[in-house]
Amino acid sequence: MNIIPAVDILDHRVVQLVGGVPGTEQVTLPDPLTVAADWESKGAKRLHIIDLDSALGKGHNAQVIRRIIENARVPVQVGGGIRSTEVAEYYLDCGADRVIAGTKGLRDPAWLREMSLKYPKRMVLALDMKGGKIQTHGWKEDSPLELKDVFANIAELPLAGVLFTNVDVEGQARGIDAEAVRSFVSECPHLTIVSGGVTDERDVETLERMGVREAVVGLSLYTGKLNHNAIWR
């Protein structure tokens, strides 16, 4: 399985938040460029960069993310507040391997279709779930959409995958909700990239048994609960 380190950027710093709530920082590091390069040097085969400021409508970190992409020697996927063609294409033109869209992709399925056909296997749809409901706008709003309807709408699109974030366990390093993951993976018509709660090698093994091929991990890598030497051999 490919374990992908999360580099979440808020106010120009790398942070790890509990449930995506500002003010709940469990980790704060000053230099996103250094953090990204450090994960790559430790063996990461892909980087996951999220612009939390943009997701929360508080500005953006486009310049530093561009530098991360340009300096990286591994594929980089970028998300957070990507709600226009201009922003998506900015990162793709910078060299991002994948662009992750959540709110925009859900609210404007015609746009998601257009972008995925123009950039096949480079667009990822983010589906953030909390209490069984899809979240939008940086996990601040419940969407009225039903998961089964979203899956039906995207089944034929040439997406790179679907990023499933379980907000209920995100940033807590207490383990995955295995049943929630199993249910999502069994219904999702695309590669599922799992995020939220991955804490140790047992979680990784559980995901592997479910057939999950990619997982984004944040807090547990930063605190050492999940040993990078064990997963990036």
Catalytic residue chosen out of the listed positions 51, 97, 128, 203: 128
Active site includes 8?
A: yes
Which entry of 8, 51, 53, 203 is annotated as an active-site residue?
8
- Establish how many alpha carbons lie within 13 A of residue 13's alpha carbon, considering only the half-sphere containing its beta carbon: 11
Over the chain, what HEC string results?
Answer: CEEEEEEEEECCEEEECCCCCCCCCCEEECCHHHHHHHHHHCCCCCEEEEEHHHHCCCCCCHHHHHHHHHHCCCCEEEECCCCCHHHHHHHHHHCCCEEEECHHHHHCHHHHHHHHHHCCCCEEEEEEEECCEEEECCCCEECCCCHHHHHHHHCCCCCCEEEEEECCCCCCCCCCCHHHHHHHHHHCCCCEEEECCCCCHHHHHHHHHCCCCEEEECHHHHHCCCCHHHHCC
Q: Cα dist. 61→30, 49, 58, 76 in Å?
A: 13, 10, 10, 15
Q: Is 128 a catalytic residue?
A: yes
> 154 with 112: CB under 8 angstroms?
yes
Catalytic residues: 8, 128
